[in-house]
Amino acid sequence: MSFKGMDIVSIRDLSREQIDQVLDLAERMIPYAKGELFTKAMDGRILANLFFEPSTRTRMSFESAMLRLGGKTLEMSHPSMMSIAKGETLADTIRMVETYSDVIVLRHPHEGSARLAAKFSTKPVINAGDGAGQHPTQTLLDLFTIRRQFGRIDGIKVALVGDLKYGRTVHSLAEALTLFGAEVTFVAPPPLQMPRETVRQVEKMGGKPKLTSKLEEVIKEADVLYVTRIQKERFPDPAEYQKVAGCYRIDNTLLREAKGDLIVMHPLPRVDEIAPEVDGTRHAKYFEQAFNGVPVRMALLQLVLGGDQL
Ligand code: ASP
């Protein structure tokens, strides 16, 4: 199935076969991502990173992915130094940047911005997070991490924990896990539960999501705890944030109740939802998960840009 020229705005843009294709190619990218093998597959190609919100892993792993493929990246300066600060619209910025590059990676605080950018760009646009909307490439690397760990996604019990309202990674992930036949449970305090639209979508896809606020109800059964940060910056009222800050904390005492092969994932950055003592345990997968962003994004770029065969 050809990906060439495709925008990746939502995980819904990809079929199960296409996701498998990305994950299979990502597997082959691992030695290149680690710098054990070298390639010039993207020689002469340019990726433009447009980040209007903070990012460490997504921006740097896209950059690393493009460099590991032998391509180059254009990094924008701080938004306050860009013409957007003079009142330029996102549409105009995109119209310019597409003439300087072959693919645009966009992170923006407004939901829907990636779809808008894709409309104005003739080059592929990859959504690197649009407000509380979607984060499809994070979902691909999350699926990759689970598949590598268990050899499958089908039937795996995944508890999504924390801020399911504003956390965009869980919105894309809940749908993708359902597409692959995993069982999802949404663990959040009531004001931060999964948006109804996502719950409905999961049900429409044949999933039977369980909703709870109690971690104790899932800890014994879960194969994956996917923990998220409370998204402080998206709360309209700081007092509301204070009410839910620190509501869950994963530590070794809690993990004693869990299955021996349970994995703890987190899109990172973490604040205080996973105790540092967990880092040294066999359960901790979040740093490996962050590395997986490189081979997965390499695979996606290779498919979208139609690079030379490796
Ligand atoms: N890095 C992830 C994101 O951009 C998760 C987070 O910020 O909490 O959505």
How many alpha carbons fall within 13 Å on the CB side of residue 123? 20
pLDDT at 28: 97
| DSSP annotation string for 57-91 | HHHHHHHHHHHHTT-EEEE---GGGSGGGGT--HH
Q: Ligand 1: distance of its center to the CA of 306 in Å?
A: 28
148-207 pLDDT tens trace: 999 999 999 999 999 999 999 999 999 999 999 999 999 999 999 999 999 999 999 999
Q: Which of helix, strand or coil describes residue 157?
A: strand
pLDDT at 54: 92
pLDDT at 262: 98
The answer to whether the CB of 107 is under 6 A from ligand 1 is no
13-53 pLDDT tens trace: 999 999 999 999 999 999 999 999 999 999 999 999 999 99
CB contact set of 235 (below 8 Å; sequence gap of 6+): 166, 241
Per-residue pLDDT band for 78 (boundaries 50, 70, 90) equals confident
The answer to whether the CB of 266 is under 6 A from ligand 1 is no
Per-residue pLDDT band for 144 (boundaries 50, 70, 90) equals very high
Q: Which of helix, strand or coil describes residue 7?
A: coil
pLDDT at 308: 65
Mutate to test the pocket of ligand 1, among 142, 228, 229, 270 (most ligand atoms within 8 A of CB): 229
pLDDT at 2: 82
Average pLDDT in the 233-241 region? 93
- Atom in ligand 1 nearest the alpha carbon of residue 53: 4
pLDDT at 80: 80
Query: What's the mean per-residue pLDDT of the chain?
Result: 95
